[in-house]
Amino acid sequence: MDHQLHFTGDEAADRLLSTDPLALLIGMLLDQQIAMETAFAGPHKLDERLGGFDAAKLAAMDPDDLTDVMRQTPAVHRYPGSMAKRIVALSAAIVEDYDGEASRIWTDGEPDGAEILRRLKKLPGFGEQKAKIFLALLGKQCGLEAPGWREATGSYGEEGARRSIADVVDEDTLLQVRETKRAAKAAAKNKS
């Protein structure tokens, strides 16, 4: 991966996300029910507390032990138990299907956008929306050139969109994405 992400406001956390595909996937996994920058800072906290990590190490961990690590202050996530289980399951899938190399999800066999999306949706903790957002992130900020990636991501791949972490490049765009999400929630609430 050859790019510089700016998601967390912490240089070391952003450097890890920029250089370690597994860290980036874990950040995406954690990105629910907490602030985006907190979710994406999570892999750096784990890296520091575990003295480094890779898919094999995380896959072999007892989820209860990882939960204890995630509960340390500051906590990695507000739901450390369920997220620890998801991190272990995600890592195990990466070991099983991609020999522990997360980037192979989007590089093996020169896949197109639809195939990468299919592979992402197969990962534990990655549903349709999360997979589309991650694919948009790869295309918009990580140099992914797979044909059809924008089409596979739907509205998340639109140029100039401010819908998700895929569109965050600085503090201003983070605030714009946050406002777009707030407006979407308000609109959905008014419909019900």
What's the pTM? 0.94
| pLDDT given for residue 59 in this prediction | 98
Q: Give the C-alpha separation, 82 to 75, whole Å.
A: 13
> What is the band of 121 on the pLDDT scale with cuts at 50, 70, 90?
very high
| Burial 71-106, CB ≥16 within 10 A → b, else e | eeeeebbebbeebbbbbbbbbbbbbeebebebbbbb
| pLDDT given for residue 189 in this prediction | 82
Is 11-191 a domain of CATH 1.10.340.30? Answer: yes
Q: What is the mean pLDDT of residues 105-131?
A: 97
pLDDT at 13 over 70: yes
